[in-house]
């Protein structure tokens, strides 16, 4: 098929590259000329394993192109995908201005029947509004289908080619059948439903996964008080087929472009129909509070933080991405800086993105993990990049003023911790915590 994708952000770019690799002719449109010029040169604006090579292969094969000319891209397409951002506004609701602007531009450019596919995450009822906007601007026939995306940053290419399921929302069987055919090569697990249900499936899925993360973090906090090991608890829970093991890794909470935005948006959607989504509000609160544990534990280990030097390993909200949106590192570093702490930071790929959004004289940008720890009073591991787990922690400890380690992602295993001269704190594993070198923290068992 001839496809046009409006928006070259995370969803639009990955979708465009992967649809081209399936043999479709894809034109990706963006109004930012600088971004389009880089894409035309084979450079991608995000870090996503495997994406740049795939882009170059399909561009060289003539199946993938990039332009700022939306009008011609729409006119030459059979199917148009809207994949622009819907960021959160101050009240938590999604900002729909970009998607409505794209819809109006499509309507003004249409020259015949088109299928408009919405991949952007949108509140329930948005596809109907998009349809109305296009109809105001065009007399040509068209259909709107909702196909929410479920890509995970860091494995988006794999997820595109091997999805768990495809959701297609449509009120026209003909348009639905075309959308099914476009995705048929990817999976047979395709659910065709009404448009509003498709919109809701996206929000409900992300809200549920965020709930699992906050739930296991609450369990971790209880484990620390009763002397249980949250990793063992999660393992035992996951063996139950009704529960499963995914998203039961305790830590410092979720971040990124989806979970924080979509949970807040769903709370707002519920509020708009006079429903108080108490559970999801608690999920958001727990996630916020989980980040504060880092500051609290640092103070327990080394006392007042003022004037101290703290090393940070990891800025991205998860490994294999340079995305720092809503990353726990932002709140933690901002609080450290507020307390007059010198913060030495290192991340394999997310340094530039973090610095664009937050720079400060108290932040020292380090070129590698070891240099970040030199002269530090404590080390906080905030993103579970593989290279951190492979570090020689004896060397790390020798570089620090105080061998204090806060393992915010439970990266280090029991066998390693027992052989290190670190004061150590992980999340929900009290039997590994030590208030000083070689000594387990017995305070956690005060209730025994």
Q: What is the CATH number of the domain that holds 182?
A: 3.40.50.720
Range of the domain at 411: 194-448
Tokens of 38: 């880089």
Tokens of 227: 């002397």
Q: Is the domain of 270 the same as that of 348?
A: yes
Closest of 116, 16, 117, 1 to residue 66, by C-alpha:
16
pTM of the model: 0.92
Low-confidence spans in the chain with pLDDT less than 70: 435-448
Using CA atoms, how far apart are residues 140 and 112, in angstroms rounded to an integer?
Answer: 5
Tokens of 447: 């209730």
Q: Is 24 annotated as a binding residue?
A: no
Q: Is the domain of 209 the same as that of 276?
A: yes
Q: So what's the pLDDT on residue 96?
A: 93
Is 404 within 8 Å of 301 (Cβ atoms)? Answer: yes
Q: So what's the pLDDT on residue 447?
A: 36
Overall domain count for the chain = 2
Nearest-5° Cα angle at 249, 248 to 254: 95
Q: Is the domain of 47 the same as that of 187?
A: yes
Using CA atoms, how far apart are residues 289 and 241, in angstroms rounded to an integer?
Answer: 30
Q: Is the domain of 187 the same as that of 282?
A: no
Q: Is the domain of 250 the same as that of 388?
A: yes
Q: Is 247 annotated as a binding residue?
A: yes
Q: Is the domain of 233 the same as that of 275?
A: yes
Q: Is the domain of 341 the same as that of 445?
A: yes
Q: So what's the pLDDT on residue 439?
A: 54
Cα–Cα distances (Å) from 155 to 150, 305, 307, in that order, read 11, 37, 40
Sheet containing strand 142-146, edge to edge, reads: 64-67, 25-29, 2-6, 79-82, 114-118, 142-146, 166-169, 190-193
Q: Is 248 annotated as a binding residue?
A: yes
Q: So what's the pLDDT on residue 446?
A: 36
Q: Is the domain of 437 the same as that of 299?
A: yes
Q: Is the domain of 98 the same as that of 243?
A: no
Q: Is the domain of 335 the same as that of 243?
A: yes
Is 411 within 8 Å of 319 (Cβ atoms)? Answer: no
Q: Is 86 annotated as a binding residue?
A: yes
Q: Is the domain of 82 the same as that of 200?
A: no
Specify the length of the chain in residues.
448
| Neighbour tally for 431: CB within 10 Å | 17
Using CA atoms, how far apart are residues 348 and 313, in angstroms rounded to an integer?
Answer: 9
Q: Is the domain of 132 the same as that of 218?
A: no
Q: Is 388 annotated as a binding residue?
A: no
**Residue 95 CB burial class (10 angstroms; 0-12, 13-18, ≥19):** middle
Is 366 in a helix, a strand, or coil? coil
Packed helices 195-226 and 230-238: angle between N→C axes, nearest 10 degrees: 140
Residues acting as catalytic residues? 258
Of 160, 193, 226, which closes a domain? 193
Of 126, 160, 193, which closes a domain? 193
Of 172, 193, 214, which closes a domain? 193
Whether the CA torsion 304, 307, 312, 317 is positive or negative: it is positive
| DSSP secondary structure of 81-126 | EE-----B-TTS-B--HHHHHHHHHHHHH--S-EEEEE-S---TTH
């Amino acid at each position: 098929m001839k496809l046009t994708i409006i928006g070259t952000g995370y969803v639009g770019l990955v979708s465009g590259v992967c649809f081209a690799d399936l043999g479709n002719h894809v034109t990706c449109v963006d109004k930012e000329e600088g971004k389009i010029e880089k894409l035309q040169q084979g450079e991608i604006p995000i870090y996503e394993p495997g994406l740049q090579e795939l882009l170059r292969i399909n561009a060289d094969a003539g199946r993938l192109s990039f332009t700022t000319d939306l009008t011609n891209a729409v006119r030459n397409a059979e199917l148009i995908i809207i994949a622009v951002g819907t960021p959160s506004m101050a009240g938590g609701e999604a900002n729909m201005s970009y998607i409505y602007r794209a819809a109006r531009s499509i309507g003004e450019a249409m020259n015949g029947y088109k299928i408009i596919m919405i991949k952007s995450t949108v509140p329930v009822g948005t596809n109907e509004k998009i349809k109305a906007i296009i109809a105001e601007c065009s007399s040509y026939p068209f259909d709107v289908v909702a196909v929410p995306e479920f890509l995970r940053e860091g494995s988006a290419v794999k997820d595109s080619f091997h999805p768990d399921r495809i959701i297609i929302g449509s009120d026209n069987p003909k348009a639905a059948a075309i959308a099914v055919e476009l995705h048929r090569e990817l999976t047979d697990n395709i659910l065709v439903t009404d448009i509003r249900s498709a919109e809701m499936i996206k929000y409900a899925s992300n809200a549920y996964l965020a709930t699992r993360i906050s739930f296991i973090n609450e369990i971790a906090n209880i484990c620390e008080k009763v002397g249980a090991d949250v990793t063992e608890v999660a393992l035992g829970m996951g063996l139950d087929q009704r529960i499963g093991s995914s998203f039961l890794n305790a830590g410092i909470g979720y971040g990124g472009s989806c979970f924080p935005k979509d949970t807040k948006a769903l709370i707002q959607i519920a509020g708009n129909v006079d429903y108080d989504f108490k559970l999801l509000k608690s999920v958001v609160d727990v996630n916020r509070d989980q980040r504060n544990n880092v500051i609290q534990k640092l103070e327990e280990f080394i006392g007042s933080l003022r004037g101290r030097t703290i090393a940070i390993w990891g800025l991205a909200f998860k490994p294999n991405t340079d995305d720092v949106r809503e990353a726990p590192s932002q709140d933690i570093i901002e609080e450290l800086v507020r307390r007059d702490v010198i913060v030495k930071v290192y991340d394999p790929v997310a340094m530039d993105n973090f610095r664009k959004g937050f720079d400060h004289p108290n932040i020292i940008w380090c070129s590698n993990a070891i240099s970040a720890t030199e002269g530090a009073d404590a080390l906080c591991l905030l993103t579970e990049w593989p290279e951190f787990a492979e570090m020689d922690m004896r060397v790390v400890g020798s570089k620090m003023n105080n061998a204090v380690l806060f393992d915010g992602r439970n990266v280090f295993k029991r066998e390693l911790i027992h052989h290190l001269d670190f004061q150590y704190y992980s999340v929900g594993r009290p039997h590994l915590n030590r208030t000083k070198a070689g000594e387990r923290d017995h305070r956690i068992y005060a209730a025994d």
